[in-house]
Structure 1
């Protein structure tokens, strides 16, 4: 992939457009502008899991949404606690403590992630003419490094590689960035490249 500039730029554009769709859905929910970083694209192997720094100790809220169908992988939202508190206070119209989230508040975050995931995947599925099913979200609270280690280990299996497209997003009232990570697993990476009519 490193030597295929067309593939790299196409995947970045996927991330830019799809991430923009997800951010637009969040902006509607919050009635505010959502800012985005540019997309980053890389591939992951088991060797990368051993060499990458996955020991970041920032405490975050993760929402994981697996997807399958014509392409298999996962969408991961990593939310910093200040943003989660800001968002929940905005949409629920009451004070919220991000360190002691109740079931209703966790459900709200899961529902929001599902809305953003649907917006993200819609553009990709339409362009590729894929049928993609987004599964139920699961939410956890842990150190960022631990979350990434667990999710990337699920994505990178045996001798296969995973493709990762990531973007950061934030709002003016909470400028600490959150992350949206799109992971394509195993054989789906090759299928995606074939669908784009490129060789790796």
Structure 2
């Protein structure tokens, strides 16, 4: 999986990360795409993920992927924090506890998708977890929460014995143009989901 690296994904996003960066991860695992996606959804549900976007499972399946889109954060919670300390946390997210940052996170969407892959004659699953909003809410806070959460998920996956090596961390904006989860392609997925729901496809 090639990248055009404009920033180091192995380092914490740090201060004032641009909103289009969108911190992401790919986990190579020895289980089916269905089980991998289910495990990831269960993990996110522990942190308050809310429901799935209708139509995403079906749309991804049309392209040979297994997965869905979930909602994290809340516009209401973001509004309650607005003007109190949001700017400070957004400027220097690492200085504040993770629980506080999660409570301040505005509504954002995360795509959880998996596909079968092979290397050196061995088959496995690539599980991706990436923000699917082109422009994110609470950019620095979101990338900080994603950094901590996705690394925690890697450790939990490692403890199952199903993780092959380690996760690959990246920024969605650095994916090559021909990758299915590249920014423009994610926009097209959302467009097609909406059109199918309206019966226009």
What's the TM-score, normalizing by structure 1? 0.32
What's the TM-score, normalizing by structure 2? 0.32
Greater share of helix: 1
